[in-house]
Amino acid sequence: MIIAIDGPSGAGKSTVAKAVAKKLGFSCLDTGAMYRAVAWRALQDGVPFDDAALGQLARTHDIAFGHEPGDPAPKSVSIGGEDVTRAIRTAEIDRAVSPVSAAPSVREALVGQQRRIGRAGDYVVEGRDIGTVVFPEAEVKVFLTASDEERAHRRVRQNADRSIGSIDFDEVLADLRRRDEHDSSRATSPLKPADDAVRLDSTGRYIEDVIDEIVELARERAAR
Ligand code: DC
């Protein structure tokens, strides 16, 4: 089974995806980490930010997730054999990843990898276009949102916990809005809910309730 969780940055997708996967015994795939890894490699190598060069980079560098036994969420991510788990969470990558993820050749390369990974088992897959493009046949589709302010607060807390990225609320809020605008207005695979997605707003809700609601949706779907 595939559970697709799409939505804007900071809506709680990662937390929810990991917890849902754990409860159901599924694996997790964070597709945003893949776009971030390509952005990191492009900056390291000074690759021009045009579609052809970025697409070539995405096609020729393997992205791999490292797992610990018993944990559905990967502990590490690497590109071309280099561990980039922390390096892809910086403010620099936050800024660079939007143009990279808007490149159609990059999307084509990464969507192919995402389909290969997801079809190998039961997966909770999080991203922006999972229910619309990557797995339009997903058994469960959720579009998770939260208010801009709540998303910015969460991202600041997350950055503080990881000791990485900005912890300035206004800066984080402005960056979230800029990325939302970019992700929603791009020509290829814009951020939007699939017609058959269940829309969940996590503003002011306990995250455990949201997790339980998605687990219930999956169980109902499995019982059909
Ligand atoms: O979820 P995230 O913030 O780590 O995603 C990083 C960027 O990648 C974000 O700007 C949107 C983009 N992205 C995308 O275009 N499609 C996906 N399936 C996942 C992420």
Report how far ligand 1's centroid is from the alpha carbon of 224 (Å): 32
Q: Whose CA is nearest to atom 4 of ligand 1?
A: 32
- Which numbered atom of ligand 1 lies nearest the CA of 101? 15
Ligand 1 neighbourhood includes 183 CB (under 6 angstroms)? yes
Contact 72, 22 (CB under 8 A): yes
Q: How do residues 179-196 score in pLDDT, each as one tens digit?
A: 889 889 988 889 999 999
Q: Using the Cα atoms of residue 72, residue 95, residue 181 and residue 98 in order, give the sign of their dihedral.
A: negative
Reported as a single tens digit per residue, the pLDDT across 147-182 is 999 999 998 998 899 888 889 999 999 989 988 898
Q: 31 CB less than 6 Å from ligand 1?
A: yes
Entry pTM? 0.94
Cα of 185 from ligand 1 centre, angstroms: 13
Instruction: For residues 43-51, give the mean pLDDT.
Output: 96
Query: What is the C-alpha separation between 33 and 76, in angstroms, rounded?
Result: 10
Q: 6-19, pLDDT tens digit by residue?
A: 999 889 999 999 99
99-112 pLDDT, tens digit per residue, is 999 999 999 999 99
Contacts of 223 (CB under 8 A, 6+ apart): none
